[in-house]
Structure 1
Amino acid sequence: MMKNRIVLSVLMLMFSFALHAQVKTAIICGKLITAEDEAVLTNTVILIEEDRIVEIGNRGIIKPDYEVIDLSAYTVLPGLIDAHVHPLIYGDDYQVNHLKGSSAFNALRGLKAVQNWLNEGWTTLRIAGDADTQYAHFEIRDAINNGLFDGPRIYGAGHYLSVTGGGGDINFFSPDQSIIADGLVVDGKEEIQKAIREEIKYGSDWIKILVTGAFMSEGDNPQNVQFSDEEIVAAMEEAKRRGVPVMAHAHATEGINKAIQFGARSIEHGTFLNDESIDLFLEYDAFLIPTVSVGEYGLETWKESEAQAKMYELTLKHREESWKMYSKAIERGVKVGIGSDNVGFPPYFAAKEFELLVKLGMSPLQAILAGTKVNAELLMKEDEIGSIKVGKFADIIATKNNPLEDITELSRVEFVMKGGKVIKSIK
């Protein structure tokens, strides 16, 4: 009896050690783009313990207790960061779709979306507000963080704040109907302050404000500034008091410029920016997330869409001039990040943004940095993500061919690791 107890105790001790043994992985890279600088390393090894990178060097650093992943025939890069997504939104008639299912169902749909994006190489997402009557996307984030599901790192805003009749309001029902808008409708300083406090209470680590009208919503004009100066300042000050940054949806020139001057960390879209806007981006060290690919998708797909007729017409009309100014912003050194505005579009939709930024004047390396190092800085997470460096999370992807030679390779990611865990392995 005593002997059996001793054997059982030893087995339990061994099992405990096995559970708590460090996961150690060595990745052999053919080419390695660290996104720390412009260098492309060859025949390099990354050592990972648990969820962090612990050493980078040659093959001689591999130790016997490391599991080896051989990517010597691949180009290895940091996990990608998309700074503008809406995982709960879907369809061209998106403004009412959030009412068709419960918040719980929206969470399930959104979980599937973010898992798909992780499988494509997007290890971090910033949600630019989302369409839900509650906060389903934060339930997704919390479930991932608690280890219930695999998924990307998620940061962002609960809802997008809109004025009555603005881009986040529903403007096509009669006044007899009581409808919950896809955005969070607030008017006046007091309502804005309370809304921001509630957004933070329920999990927002960003505040999203629709400073101007939108392209994709009905009944408002993207060339109008919709919040007053007092309201915009109130939003910025309330968020700043709580240590939460603000992303400002802004198409109109005046709205872009005011949002930057009043304290927005990033401008989303920036369609009608001008030379003064570029000067302000540089002066205030603000970020531009142009979301170019959604406009191109609309031109290709929504020509016959009644719900997106306004978006189609405006994109067709203003595309050429906007592209010229985006190119000028890139040339002058504005911090431009990757943001796809992905709302459940076809697979690998978001990777199109890299290709379009190259068309706008970025080098392939600059485009890669826009979706890694620059966006990590935008998120103020540059010590944790955005490049392959000792001490950072082991968020790593690989492509068969070199995206510096063909940027479209980022739409064919073949290996994904998030925090040291393999999400997608080489077939």
Structure 2
Amino acid sequence: MKLIRLFAGLAAAGVLASSALAADQLVAIRAGKLVDVVKGEVLRDQTIVVSGERIAAVGPSGSVQVPAGARTIDLSGATVLPGLIDMHTHLTGDPNLHGYKSLGVSDIRSALYGARSAKVTLEAGFTSVRNVGASGFGDVALRDAIDDGELPGPRMRVSGYAIGIMGGHCDNNLLPNDFHYVERGVADGPWEARTKVREMAKYGADVIKICASGGVLSKGDEPGAQQYTLEEMKAIVDEAHKLGRRVAAHAHGASSIRDAILAGVDSVEHASLIDDEGIRLAREKGTWLVMDIYNDDFILQEGAKAGMLPESLAKEKALGQLQRDNFRKAFRGGAKMAFGTDAGVYPHGDNARQFFYMVKYGMTPMQAIQAATINAADLLGWKDRVGSISAGKYADIIAVSGDPTADPAELTRVRFVMKGGAVYKADPVSAPR
């Protein structure tokens, strides 16, 4: 079986790079199977014509006209999908440096780590991400370097600092009072919170991240405890929307989820303890839920070695299974759901491990893929650019050897990655024969 014939020699030589196929050429991709996430179907024997960064045409191979001189990428032995999207990442976060270990990491070092994380994430098949929280505006710098072609990585929407209350989940409570340290995203009261939104927007944030409740990996608070008030969250959402930014709310507890939705946030992150009222409100208001139901495994198995505090491990033990059960409940209750993993808590590049749990807790494999493609693109504000293999959209295309609609584990073994018409990964070695 021939797979990615054009790049076999380069891959074997270990020199495949984004320049192997520049994004200014005509390309015809032969797809043995193609996951149509809009229709929710797997199509056979399809051809995708790529012109520069964009998809020019897609359809049955017998009916799509391939322009003269177009290069051919043979994926006839593979399943082709749109590039995946993770709506909750921390690319500048090192999963091995949690808790007190994190105190020795500078903002500059975090940004440099982000360069590696971006490459690993892209090669794992995630061609777009939303980064919700980074110190020193490292995610802004990373986004801009990727956009300028200086580094390989996914398309990024970024938040800069997450905004939260003094002493809350978005503050740093590891240092003693002698240091008088307050995280730069701290803002108390409606007008101070509005000012903080303006600051994040000034320095490059595309999206505003707030902490409506306590968290698991923070010191001295409880995930279920509400932190921002409804009044404060309304002020943040009003200011952010006025400035054209969407708002993502970290919220574990039922009351914080409820008030975040009532305040008008665009998405609720984690939503671990969501109740029937929260599910109803999310459905009625059209609020997206982004529930990270894989990383419980990493936290409980590897968290102590990574420096996570004993209190954090205890909080995760109490919360992890409840979150997974509530994922099933929220999905069955009709809430809109987008794929997000909290990458950076666990090692970057392992994002696709979450698909298994999304299927285990209620979704079909196709629905899980849609959560990471068309649903995520909608929440990202880029549904006209990414999320499906459709004419006019960016040529963000991945391929796996098997059928991910039968076995979602296939998505952890991405063989081919194209972003914007440029090939970043082509691995024919392990293709089926």
Q: Scaled by the length of structure 1, what TM-score is found?
A: 0.91
Matched residue, 2:163 = 161
Matched residue, 2:228 = 227
Matched residue, 2:126 = 122
The residue matched to 1:135 in structure 2 has which SS? helix
1:306 deviates by 6.0
CA contact (8 A) 1:161 1:185 kept: yes
CA contact (8 A) 1:92 1:308 kept: no
Matched residue, 1:84 = 88
Matched residue, 1:264 = 265
CA contact (8 A) 1:302 1:309 kept: no
| Distance 1:304-1:28 versus aligned 2 partners, 3 A rule | closer
| Distance 1:64-1:404 versus aligned 2 partners, 3 A rule | same
Which protein, 1 or 2, shows the higher relative CO under an 8 Å CA cutoff with sep ≥ 6?
2
How far apart, in 2, do the equivalents of 1:288 and 1:262 lie?
A: 15
1:320 deviates by 3.4
Counting only pairs closer than 5 Å after superposition, residues 283-302 of structure 1 correspond to structure 2 as 283-302=284-303
Cα-to-partner distance string for 1:11-46 (whole Å, 9 max, x where unaligned): xxxxxxxxx995100000010002111121111000
CA contact (8 A) 2:88 2:131 kept: yes
CA contact (8 A) 2:295 2:346 kept: no
Matched residue, 1:170 = 172
Matched residue, 1:28 = 30
Matched residue, 2:245 = 244
How far apart, in 2, do the equivalents of 1:324 and 1:307 lie?
A: 24
| Distance 1:107-1:406 versus aligned 2 partners, 3 A rule | same
Letter of the aligned partner of 2:214 in structure 1? G
CA contact (8 A) 2:55 2:393 kept: yes
Matched residue, 1:355 = 356
1:190 deviates by 2.4
1:93 deviates by 4.7
Which range is displaced more, 56-65 or 94-103?
Answer: 94-103
| Distance 1:173-1:365 versus aligned 2 partners, 3 A rule | same
Matched residue, 1:49 = 51
1:304 deviates by 6.5
How far apart, in 1, do the equivalents of 2:247 and 2:336 lie?
A: 16
CA contact (8 A) 2:292 2:342 kept: yes
Letter of the aligned partner of 1:104 in structure 2? I
Q: Scaled by the length of structure 2, what TM-score is found?
A: 0.89
Does residue 409 of structure 1 match 2:410?
A: yes
Q: 2:141 aligns with which of 139, 142, 148?
A: 139
Larger radius of gyration: 1
The residue matched to 1:366 in structure 2 has which SS? helix
1:194 deviates by 1.3
CA contact (8 A) 2:247 2:267 kept: yes
1:92 deviates by 5.4
Q: 2:150 aligns with which of 128, 143, 148?
A: 148
| Distance 1:91-1:425 versus aligned 2 partners, 3 A rule | closer
CA contact (8 A) 2:100 2:307 kept: no
| Distance 1:21-1:282 versus aligned 2 partners, 3 A rule | closer
Matched residue, 2:10 = none
Which range is displaced more, 56-65 or 145-154?
Answer: 56-65
| Distance 1:241-1:390 versus aligned 2 partners, 3 A rule | same
How far apart, in 2, do the equivalents of 1:95 and 1:206 lie?
A: 26
- CA RMSD, 1 decimal: 1.9
Runs of 4+ in structure 1 off by over 6 angstroms are none
CA contact (8 A) 1:92 1:307 kept: no
The residue matched to 1:185 in structure 2 has which SS? coil
Which range is displaced more, 319-328 or 286-295?
Answer: 319-328
The residue matched to 1:361 in structure 2 has which SS? coil
CA contact (8 A) 1:90 1:97 kept: no
How far apart, in 1, do the equivalents of 2:283 and 2:326 lie?
A: 14
Matched residue, 1:378 = 379
| Distance 1:417-1:22 versus aligned 2 partners, 3 A rule | closer
Which range is displaced more, 155-164 or 115-124?
Answer: 155-164
How far apart, in 2, do the equivalents of 1:201 and 1:346 lie?
A: 31
CA contact (8 A) 1:246 1:266 kept: yes
CA contact (8 A) 1:291 1:340 kept: yes
Matched residue, 1:211 = 212
The residue matched to 1:207 in structure 2 has which SS? strand
